Structure 1
Amino acid sequence: MAYRKLPRCSRRQVVRGLIATTAFGVVTKLGTACSPSSEGGTSGGDSGAGGGGDLLVGFIYVGPKDDFGYNQAHAEGAAAMAANVPGIQIVEEASVPETTAVAETMRSMIEIDGAQVLFPTSFGYFDPYILEMAAEFPQVQFFHAGGLYQDGVHPDNVGSYFGYIDEAQYVAGVVAGHMSNAGKLGFVAAKPIPQVLRNINAFTLGAQSVKPDITTQVIFTGDWAMPVKEAEATNSMADQGIDVVTCHVDSPKVVMETAEKRGIYCTGYHANQAPLAPQGYLTGAEWDWSSIYSDLGEQFVAGKTLMAGDIPHILRGGLAGKFCKLSDYGPAVSDEAKAAAETAKEQIISGELVIYKGELKDNQGNVILPSGEEYKQDNLELEKMDYLIEGVQGSIEG
């Protein structure tokens, strides 16, 4: 797959420049005076507008593509789509904030590059930016990671895809439960949105399946990329005697490296962070976007669309559907922990193990699920999660 160098200015700057000139209609794509750069840009061919009849797909990331985390996982999946699906080209832009900047980027990809499908991947892109752009460009398909599509409410050219990565977090929690001597775990989290809360709760439930009295201390940093606060939170946890930490932030790099320096164990998220903590990395909950994006790319080339109903508006899956996977076990993981984790993974894949079942209480003592009831992974109530379970120390307020 060939990568073409683009101008150093961002495509948002390009759009602003085009809007500011009366020659908008005759300016050639990316025909600016910016200096060449290898950062961000089009891949998969010579023409960003889908030359040779290729379908152009745009990917937008809130952070850098090499962040050892959320954005890297999506970028690896995008590269797999371009490499595995003939007739697909991709165009990308990284480090796009969850502001009107993403609307400018989407508009640029559509009007300048000729993108017919967009994957704006960050949570905050969905409402209002994707919804507004989808209404303006009904012929373009918009796929969002995590946003909950509502039939009859949202435009029919909008789709929602996400994985039940809390399944992998549950298994990581089983490992953490076996490896923790203190019975105290730590979780550094960005924001208390449902996807994050599911990971915190599933990780804790996995650990509690090993040690019922184990606790998880959660600290919310307030945003997806707050490296100073992430380091402070991890150090604070180590100071409190917590001996296994994990996280849900865009780049787990700081948390993993800080845990390694403090001599405590860690489990990863989004991608494989084992190189960052060669002694203390136990395992991790990883996305497996390569298979999902390649499958969607094949459907696009075949002419399938959200608008025609050929592609589901809500696409979900877990370990069984290859939406997510577990990192390889680190050198510190005991054989007992490995065996328990493998059993849990197999039971989740087979459907024998249901993560959320009663009696389940929140950490305020309220009953979430009465005894005998359960939420399977496709239950929409889980996508509205607004609580921390019993055993999680922390609050989603403020």
Structure 2
Amino acid sequence: MNTNAILVINCGSSSVKFSLIKPASGETLLSGLAECLLSTDAKVTIKQQGDKKTYKLPDPFDHQAALSVLVVQLQQLNLVKDISAIGHRVVHGGEKYSQPTLITTEVEQAISQLAKLAPLHNPANLIGIKACQAAFDCLPQVAVFDTAFHQSMPEKAYMYGLPYSLYKEHGIRRYGFHGTSHYFVANQAAKQLNKPLAQCNLISAHLGNGCSVTVIKNGESVDTSMGMTPGEGLIMGTRCGDLDTGIIFHLVDNLGYSISDVDKLVNKESGLVGISDLSNDCRTLENAMLEDNHVQATLALTVFCYRIAKSIASYSASLTQLDGLVFTGGIGENSSWVRTEIVKQLGLLNFSLDEEKNQATRFGASGNIATKNSRACWVIATNEEFVIAEQSAQLLTNLAK
């Protein structure tokens, strides 16, 4: 089957990120972002061969309007003929999906049912699927799930200390997220090691507004910091991460919080922005800390880095050998200060950084930033869109055989 180019769609509740990628070469023919959807400020920005243009969206300012603008631009650029399929990022696949899947009515229903486990994500992913079906009705649509890479986790890693019936009857367990990112950087690290992925043992730290650490044993995810939802684990931009459940009862019973108030607090008002009382943006906090000696910004970043270092160290319990550590994501790829602060707390695991290399490896650059006598420590720019394109193309090729 011709898989010349895959249109990758990453649909959020008020945004659509898209890329047209040749999976065979990794070349990106076109990319862009529709944002502020469902408002009069809705717009779509399209980049192609160094050229960038922004278009205001027409009423009703929705996902379909954004994709309609995209289709027109693809037609004008004579790129529609190159598209062989649409690959969709879908956040939650539960236990049902561990591989890329051709989207059918049954798959759509399953994604909808799994929305109870990802209420902020799966409904938005479905909106993107429906919009693309209307815009590209003759093309196959493929779902690539964030949770799929983590389906190799053993029971001891994914079970909660709750009654077993809650798992069996309601699917309450740890699933993990950022799977496509962890999978991509693990493959890149394997190339650096000149070993098959199946022989690699790694710890991967995806650090951005959302953060997760994954331990990869013989090429497979065997534990990860996010859980049933993306709220578990590390401190993040606006999420608190791991939390004593007794705090929730205290907030409700003694401080007058409603359940919706608690949900807003732990998901949108906590993490870096909550501790700093300033921003969820690591760049803003670093500037405030280094230039203004901002006490709460310093505290937020210190707690953030300590929790990441503690998580990385704890995952060594899953391994008998460790090839290296990977930093990725917006913060992991760009903040040399955060990397330094984390790694200096990992001396027992024999990690140390070459600060010259660390400072130089930013803004899309990748490389090993460890000292000569340290375990390997890579910065690897992630490319989730390429994984979605590659896996979508491979699925369609296999189905055509």
TM-score after normalising by structure 2: 0.31
Going by fraction, where is helix more abundant, 1 or 2?
2
